[in-house]
Chains A and B, each alone.
Chain A
Amino acid sequence: MKVVVVGGTGQVGRELIRVLTAEGHEATAASRSTGVDTVTGEGLAEALAGAQAVVDVTNAPVWGDDEVLAFFTTSSRNLLEAGRAAGVRHHIPLTIVGADRNLESGYQRAKVAQENVVATSGVPYTILRATQFYSFLGTIADATTVEGVVRAPATAFQPVAVEDVAAALASYAAGAPANGIVDLAGPEKQPMTQFLRRFLAATHDPREWSTTRPPSTSGRR
């Protein structure tokens, strides 16, 4: 079957195309570098022609809260509209585990808005929410470093390998729509700080540590 991977030239997209191709599917990348702009719609009709499934692993090229929200909602609407016209039978966006519990983050608000666009589109879908990737740990360490000290919360953390994200996306692309949300996580749950310590130890990173503990949520849900 033909599967179009939107954002197919990025980290997840490249691995997904490798997996789909190895499984015998016709997997093509659609991104700005291949002449497809999901915001303006340029190149979408041509890219989606003949596709049975669309997997959307795009990342926003902007960071401001309003801009990210506009990107994900506009991009998804355009993809769904073009997909409907092309006869696409399954739309699979990659979003984030817990996005709806982290709405103070503008990025995660935008991902929830993207999910809502997809779920209300009438196009059969499976939303795959993944936890943070192992390969993102360095970025987290950098983002939480203040004056040479890593100040990361010790919140529960269950990161996952990009390879496993790609394998999950490939299986959904080849299968029937769930018309719902699936959460994907890695096999180990530990405090975020433990993963960061292991990552930085492996990289021989000398940064110092300051651990913060999140409040308990017992009885709150």
Chain B
Amino acid sequence: MVDDPAAKYFGAPMTDESLVPTGNHTVRIGPLSFADWLAGDEGRRHLA
């Protein structure tokens, strides 16, 4: 494991607030979990 705070995500440096809602706007949560997505048709298509 390497601790590299300078690592970027598609050219942008990351913090723990970079990619998730922070409450600045109305937040809506989609109900489909990752496990259910993996087990569903769409997930299986991507895993094929």
Enumerate chain A interface residues (CB-CB to B < 8 A). 97-98, 101-108, 129, 131-132, 134-135, 138, 140, 143-144, 151-153, 155-165, 167-168, 178, 180-189, 192, 195, 198-199, 202-203, 209-217, 220-221
1/0 per residue B11-48: CB within 8 Å of A?
Answer: 11111111111101111111111100110001100110
Give Cα distance in the complex from A108 to B14, angstroms: 13
Choose among B13, B20, B38 the residue that contacts A104 (Cβ–Cβ < 8 A).
B13
Whether A157 contacts B20 by the Cβ 8 Å rule is yes
Nearest residue in A to B11 (C-beta to C-beta)? A105
Question: Chain A's interface: helix, strand, loop or mixed, by majority?
Answer: mixed
Give Cα distance in the complex from A102 to B20, angstroms: 11
Given contacts A105-B12, A210-B1, A192 and B19 within 8 Å (CB-CB) = yes
Q: List 22 A-B contacts (CB under 8 A).
A: A104-B12, A104-B13, A131-B20, A134-B34, A134-B42, A134-B46, A143-B10, A155-B16, A156-B18, A158-B19, A182-B27, A185-B21, A187-B29, A187-B33, A210-B1, A211-B2, A212-B4, A214-B13, A217-B15, A217-B16, A217-B17, A221-B22
Number of A-B contacts (CB under 8 A): 169
